[in-house]
Amino acid sequence: METCPQYLLLTDDLYDDSSEGLKAVMAPPLRKPADNEALWDGLKNNEIDTVATDHCPFTFKRQKQQGADDFTKCPSGAPGVEERLSLLYSEGVCKGKISMEQLVKYACTNPAKVGGVYPQKGTLSVGSDADIVIFDPKKKWTMTKKKMYGAADYTCYEGREIEGKIDLVMQRGKILVKDGEFLGERGDGKYLKRGKSSIV
């Protein structure tokens, strides 16, 4: 079982804004604060396996506007992959809703197990890929599209104060992102054939 950051942090009051509500059109739709808390409880109690994103980097100015007169024509989904780790730390770990160990489990280890690529991915062990994130837990910043790199022209978390920021990302031991600058090259990706899910 999985959830996503939007179901932990956003609520259906976003749909009340007729000009901005299209940003949050997704399936399933956003619900109430009590539903957010029930999902956090599920994470705290280890009843949920992963926190994914359902990342859909549609543009608000063009693609989402297809639903301006009829929301059923709006592409469903929102961006979230870039936001996920920072939100889980700032809103989960810092607020005592999950532990740091649980964050790693839900964002790294369990997704690798579900995808059948563990222990090549999802752990720092001898023989595993050296996929590493260096994270500064004390750095505070404001989440805004201007500070992000994804293809979407918005984030549903615009203006949210965040505690903790990624400083460096390594892919198989090679620096991929440093100080906010992408250093990867075409061809750095590698096809992984998934195996059998090892999640219990």
User: In the prediction, which pLDDT does 180 show?
Assistant: 85
Is pLDDT at 53 greater than 80 in this prediction? yes
DSSP state for residue 178 in the 8-state scheme: E
Terminus-to-terminus CA distance in the chain, angstroms? 11
- Residue 149 predicted with pLDDT over 90: no
User: What is the model's pLDDT at position 102?
Assistant: 98
Query: Each residue of 69-89: pLDDT tens digit?
Result: 998 999 999 999 999 999 999
The pair of structure tokens assigned to 57 is 């980097």
What are 181-191's pLDDT values in tens digits?
Answer: 889 999 999 99
pLDDT at 42: 98
Give the pLDDT confidence score for residue 19 in this predicted structure: 80
Dig out the tokens for 192 from the structure.
Answer: 């992984």
- Adjacent-strand bridge partners of 160: 143
Write down the pLDDT at residue 159: 96
At 95-144, the pLDDT tens digits run 999 999 999 999 999 999 999 999 999 999 999 999 999 999 999 999 99
Q: Which residues of 37-60 are buried (b: 16+ CB within 10 A; e: fewer)?
A: eebbeebeeeebbbbbbbbbbbeb
pTM attached to this predicted model: 0.93
Alpha helices in 45-132 (DSSP H): 84-87, 100-104, 110-114
Note the pLDDT of residue 179.
Answer: 87
pLDDT score of 96:
98
- Give dist(CA 89, CA 98) in Å, integer: 9
Express each pLDDT in 11-35 by its tens digit. Answer: 999 999 888 999 999 999 999 999 9
Alpha helices in 72-192 (DSSP H): 84-87, 100-104, 110-114
Q: How far is CA 26 from CA 1, 15, 55, 193, in A?
A: 18, 11, 10, 29
Q: 200 pLDDT exceeds 80?
A: no
